[in-house]
A and B are shown apart, each in its own frame.
Chain A
């Protein structure tokens, strides 16, 4: 079964509103989670690394004030797209790192954001 969940799976919002996406690790504690963005028919681009209890690390070119990340607990990270615009429409995927024996990362099912 799925070990990382995302909510919501789809969201449609009006331009100018803020949208929060949740990423949860279901069977393990994840001190580190990652947020990716995928444009249509393109690959995944890492946006930021989310660390529990500290500030996220953003990749070059990603606006931290636009994409707010909060890793409030060992099983939850949230990505908030603030003042969304149509160009923010995309597929957002999170992954969570399980530092157990296999040190595996598990990917969530993704959230499709459409900004009208």
Chain B
């Protein structure tokens, strides 16, 4: 079946530190891959996505590259800010169905 695995959190970083949140997936065929962010008390917001192998999604300084050979879609940001503190969900989509990872909580300290 389809599944998404993310690194365990919480992740705590100082402001301006480099961020990596690992995400790997298992899927039949070629899914689209997504990163969603959830701020406290709010719903999910699409952060970035990639629809085919070697595509790079980017938004607000965050990047992730669809790596078919390693079935990965790791999220990176060169310099995090306090406002990036949130829960990040990696997800895949096959057809119209989403499968979400467990989420990784990020705390950025000033």
Contacts and interface: CB of A to CB of B under 8 A. Distances in A.
Contact of A108 (B41, B43, B105): B43
Interface SS, B side = strand
A46 interface: yes
Nearest to B42: A109
Interface string B14-44: 0000000000000000000000100001111
Interface SS, A side = strand
Given A49-B96, A109-B43, 9 more contacts: A34-B96, A41-B103, A43-B100, A44-B89, A46-B98, A95-B98, A97-B96, A105-B93, A107-B45
24 contacts: A34-B96, A42-B102, A42-B103, A43-B89, A43-B100, A43-B101, A44-B44, A44-B89, A44-B100, A46-B97, A46-B98, A49-B96, A49-B97, A93-B44, A97-B96, A105-B93, A107-B36, A107-B46, A109-B42, A109-B43, A110-B42, A110-B43, A110-B44, A112-B41
